[in-house]
């Protein structure tokens, strides 16, 4: 992130704009709309600037002169908007020397802040920026946002502002969030946005009374499958619950891109696990879910893949059921499905495989005593989860129990993410291939004739062959 978005109060502050052309006029208009007093300095003054000065005579000062650093005195915000780079550079240097915020139009690297495209629904204000890299794209995005955000949102925000302290005094934090979500997504918001303020306030007070009587109710747990890594594979329901949770307990396999979609003010608790290394033991995770739900919180248990496929989700909701805690389960795209699809490997195919087996490569007691005789059947795809460290054992045991050494096998690393890699070979060659590469978890192993289809069907990333 090249620029941190901030909303800066400029009411009654003094802004200096060096330049007086059309661009300077646009910046002056924006600052005036935010309540600033504006001084423009330039040897020549455009018609647009003169028009603004006449319209805002009490707030605009125009000085016909060549810029010098003395003009910075008494100003809290500086804009360099000339068509001469040398002048703009000097303004930026002078302003930075005095620790004044400075914007250099069309040259963001010289300044300390930029002007975003603004969508004004006061008191609701939205802004979008490309960090100065693509102004046309920024304007297109602003146009889309303008069409998505009704002008009447300002009236709704004013209603919320009037009742914010009242709600804070009457409801605990967790209940407040639920209350406002109910208000802002239902009939109360509809009435406010159509100007029926008396009706909206009556309904809001009735809703507040109801919430105040039930403010100590139990919370709820959302057991959410985050999928294999690509945030675009989240379900709509998963995203909705992630954005309304008060607390999120997340695993190591949940990608940073998915975590970025969680509500920003939610409490984040890492409970990830590696092989033989648990950040938080499973029993402790279960108790954390119970503890926070009993405190009235909405808790999102965010798991990579699907929570019911090697995710221990069943153990967690079993504990919740013991306590009578409400919960929801949101399926996710399991790693086998997501990684195979992104690698061009159908898990089943009429010509090659009529069944598929999902196997965890290490069991609860740490062993790998798998039913090998059942896993060497022809016309069957076998998918091993968490099998990187056991790859040589998997290849050896399958061959020892009758699978041909030439059976196709693929190892998929960090599937569906930008780091997605596929290593394809046979049971005979795969161990040597992976040994020569810098491969790290998470990985998935697919064994079966369907693997050979990746040659024609792979669409996402190149495949490393053996």
Rounded Cα distance between 230 and 35, Å, is 44
The answer to whether 54 is a known ligand-binding residue is no
143 annotated binding-site participant: no
To the question of whether residue 323 is assigned a binding role by annotation, the answer is no
Tokens of 229: 């890594």
Q: Which residues contact 131 (CB under 8 A, 6 or more apart)?
A: 2, 3, 108, 114
379 and 372 Cβ atoms separated by less than 8 Å:
no
228 is in an annotated binding site: yes
Please answer whether residues 267 and 246 qualify as being in contact, where contact means their C-beta atoms are separated by less than 8 angstroms. yes
Q: How far apart are CA 165 and CA 231, in angstroms?
A: 36
Q: Report the alpha-carbon distance of residue 459 to residue 404 in Å, rounded.
A: 28
314 annotated to a ligand binding site: no
Does 449 carry a binding-site annotation?
no
Cis peptide bond prior to 3, omega within 30° of 0: no
Q: State the Cα–Cα distance between residues 113 and 102, nearest whole angstrom.
A: 6
Q: Pull the structure tokens for residue 268.
A: 């984040």
Active-site residue numbers?
Answer: 251, 273
* Contact present, 454 and 344 (Cβ < 8 Å): yes
334 is in an annotated binding site: yes
Q: Which secondary-structure segment (H or E) carries 273?
A: strand 273-274
Contacts for 54 with CB less than 8 Å, ≥ 6 apart: none
H-helix or E-strand spanning residue 63: strand 60-64
Residues 55 and 65: beta-carbon distance below 8 Å: no
287 is in an annotated binding site: no
Phi, psi of 452, rounded to the nearest 5 degrees? -65, -15
Answer yes or no: is 306 a known binding residue.
Answer: yes
Residue 382 has phi, psi (to 5 degrees) of -120, 130
**Nearest-angstrom CA–CA distance, 296 and 68:** 61
Is 188 annotated for ligand binding? Answer: no
| 408 annotated to bind ligand | no
Number of Cβ within a 10 Å radius of residue 33: 12
Spatial distance between the Cα atoms of 447 and 17, rounded to a whole number of angstroms = 67
Q: What are the backbone dihedrals phi and psi of residue 48, each rounded to the nearest 5 degrees, phi first? A: -60, -40
Nearest residue to 15 via CA among 48, 41, 53, 47: 41
265 assigned to a ligand binding site = no
Q: Does residue 116 have a known ligand-binding role?
A: no
> Which residues does the annotation place in the binding site?
22-23, 43-44, 228, 304-306, 309, 334-335, 386, 415
> Which residues does the annotation place in the binding site for NAD(+)?
22-23, 43-44
> Which residues does the annotation place in the binding site for S-adenosyl-L-methionine?
228, 304-306, 309, 334-335, 386, 415
């Amino acid at each position: 992130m090249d620029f941190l978005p901030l909303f800066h109060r400029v009411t009654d502050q003094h802004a200096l704009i060096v330049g007086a052309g059309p661009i300077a006029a646009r910046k002056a208009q924006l600052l005036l709309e935010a309540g600033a007093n504006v001084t423009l300095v330039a040897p020549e003054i455009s018609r647009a600037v003169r028009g603004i000065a006449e319209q805002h005579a009490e707030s605009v000062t125009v000085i016909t002169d060549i810029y010098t650093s003395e003009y910075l005195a008494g100003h809290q915000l500086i804009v360099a908007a000339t068509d001469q780079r040398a002048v703009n550079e000097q303004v930026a240097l002078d302003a930075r020397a005095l620790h004044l915020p400075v914007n250099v139009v069309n040259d963001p690297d010289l300044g300390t802040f930029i002007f975003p495209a603004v969508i004004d629904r006061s008191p609701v204000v939205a802004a979008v920026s490309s960090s100065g890299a693509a102004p046309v794209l920024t304007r297109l995005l602003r146009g889309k946002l303008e069409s998505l955000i009704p002008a009447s949102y300002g009236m709704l925000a004013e209603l919320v502002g009037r009742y914010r302290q009242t709600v804070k005094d009457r409801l605990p934090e967790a209940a407040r969030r639920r209350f406002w979500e109910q208000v802002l997504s239902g009939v109360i918001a509809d009435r406010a946005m159509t100007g029926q303020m008396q009706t909206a306030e009556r309904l809001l007070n009735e809703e507040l009374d109801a919430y105040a009587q039930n403010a100590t109710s139990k919370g709820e747990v959302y057991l959410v499958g985050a999928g294999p890594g690509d945030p675009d594979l989240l379900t709509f329901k998963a995203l909705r619950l992630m954005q309304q949770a008060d607390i999120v307990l997340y695993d190591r396999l949940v990608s940073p891109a998915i975590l970025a979609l969680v509500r920003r003010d939610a409490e984040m608790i890492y409970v990830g696990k590696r092989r033989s290394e648990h950040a938080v033991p499973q029993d402790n995770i279960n108790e954390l879910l119970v503890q926070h739900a009993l405190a009235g919180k909405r808790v999102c248990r965010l798991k990579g893949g699907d929570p019911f496929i090697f995710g221990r989700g069943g153990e967690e909701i079993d504990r919740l059921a013991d306590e009578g805690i409400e919960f929801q389960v949101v399926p996710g795209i399991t790693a086998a499905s997501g990684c195979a699809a992104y690698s061009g490997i159908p898990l089943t195919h009429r010509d090659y495989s009529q069944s598929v087996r999902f196997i965890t490569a290490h069991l609860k007691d740490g062993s790998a005593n798998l039913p090998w005789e059942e896993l060497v059947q022809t016309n069957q795809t076998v998918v091993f989860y968490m099998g990187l460290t056991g790859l040589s054992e998997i290849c050896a045991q399958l061959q020892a129990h009758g699978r041909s050494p030439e059976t196709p096998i693929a190892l998929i690393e960090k599937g569906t993410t930008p780091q997605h890699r596929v290593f394809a070979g046979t049971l005979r060659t795969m161990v040597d291939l992976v040994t020569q590469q810098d491969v790290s978890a998470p990985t998935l192993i697919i064994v079966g004739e369907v693997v050979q289809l990746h040659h024609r069907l792979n669409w996402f990333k190149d495949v490393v062959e053996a």
